[in-house]
Amino acid sequence: MTFWTPYPHLSNQLEQVQYMMTTAIHVKNPQTQAAILNLFASGGKRLRPAYLLLFSEFTDLEPDKRIALASSIEMLHTATLIHDDVIDQAETRRGVPTISHLYGPEIAVYAGDYLFIAVFRLMIQHALDLSNLSQRVEAMEKLLNGELGQMNLKFNTEQTISDYIDNISGKTAELFAQACAVAPFADGNYRLAQLAYDIGLNIGIAFQIMDDYLDYTADSETLGKPVLADMQQGIYSAPVLFALGADTRVAECLKQEDFDTVFKIIQQTEALQKTYDLARQYTTTALKLINKLPNTPVKSDIRQITEELLERQL
């Protein structure tokens, strides 16, 4: 049983997305080709294309355009993951070795670059107009600005929760926002597109906060990545920031690279509860906005999936 088993129609569409992504890859270098296809095969929940397909139910878009849009958003997401892993020198992703670890950073960078090109080629092939292409460019710019904002604050123990939210709004939430908004936008329903964008942005922020919460509540084997990797690289997520505010020892421990003590303080203070409450706050906002969607059967699916994301263990 997968995350999407209770939603058979959506599950079937996501299989079509997987097929379209796979057939869109034609790289002359065999290693790069294999690296991309292996990453596609390693899975993940496919949340961004799923939300795109769910919100496309409010539109009159043809099935092939829905699948093409969903494929393009997932390929864009995958490209950013590949480049992230190169920068982070990460050895695993989703519990499997990263492309950069298996094939080296050179192949990984080429693979990520190729996927950016594949995104635009796919959209052109399916006659998606220039305004949709500009949306992808805008999303990529916001993603990059989120990453740059995070980089600018590395090892900064003075940063605030507001700084953190600003960065994850670009780094993670923007793609969720685009996933929800792009189908209504392509269908010309701009009012619905704006509502969908706001829903996706709140879902994406809540999702990233929960990811950061799980870093400190799940072991690395369960989560598929080292739980303290971000802290070691000077990236301080919500649990660390709340701990900084709760205990004056945390800043010094971070400077001394005494991560075990920081981890213990996070467990002993209200840092994790405050992180969870922050995720719930953004989920609640998303659910209130979801209530404003047209009353069709898909609305309840969107609500249920969004609620499940807050309770997930992975």
Same-domain check for residues 116 and 172: no
Nearby residues of 72 by Cβ (< 8 Å), 6 or more positions away: 119, 122, 123, 136
Q: What's the pLDDT score for residue 230? A: 80
Average pLDDT of span 220-238: 71
Q: What's the pLDDT score for residue 132? A: 57
Nearby residues of 134 by Cβ (< 8 Å), 6 or more positions away: none
pLDDT tens per residue across span 290-299: 999 999 999 9
Per-residue pLDDT at 54 exceeds 90 = yes
Average pLDDT of span 246-251: 92
Q: What's the pLDDT score for residue 224? A: 46
Average pLDDT of span 68-72: 91
CATH number for the domain including 285? 1.10.600.10
Same-domain check for residues 158 and 73: no
For residue 84, give the amino acid letter. Answer: D
Average pLDDT of span 231-235: 85
pLDDT tens per residue across span 163-212: 999 889 888 898 899 899 989 988 889 999 999 999 999 999 999 999 89
pLDDT tens per residue across span 269-287: 999 999 999 999 999 999 9
Same-domain check for residues 56 and 15: yes
Same-domain check for residues 110 and 190: no
Q: What is the DSSP string of 30-50?
A: HHHHHHHHHHHHT----HHHH
Q: 205 lies in a domain?
A: yes
Q: What's the pLDDT score for residue 141? A: 64
Q: 304 lies in a domain?
A: yes
- Domain total of the chain: 2
pLDDT tens per residue across span 95-123: 678 888 888 989 888 888 889 888 878 87
Q: 142 lies in a domain?
A: no
Q: 136 lies in a domain?
A: no
Q: 79 lies in a domain?
A: yes
Distance CA 177, CA 56 (A): 13
Distance CA 211, CA 45 (A): 13
Q: 54 lies in a domain?
A: yes
Q: Which domain holds residue 239?
A: 153-313
Residue with more model confidence, 76 or 310: 76
pTM of the model: 0.89
Q: What's the pLDDT score for residue 238? A: 95
Average pLDDT of span 216-226: 60
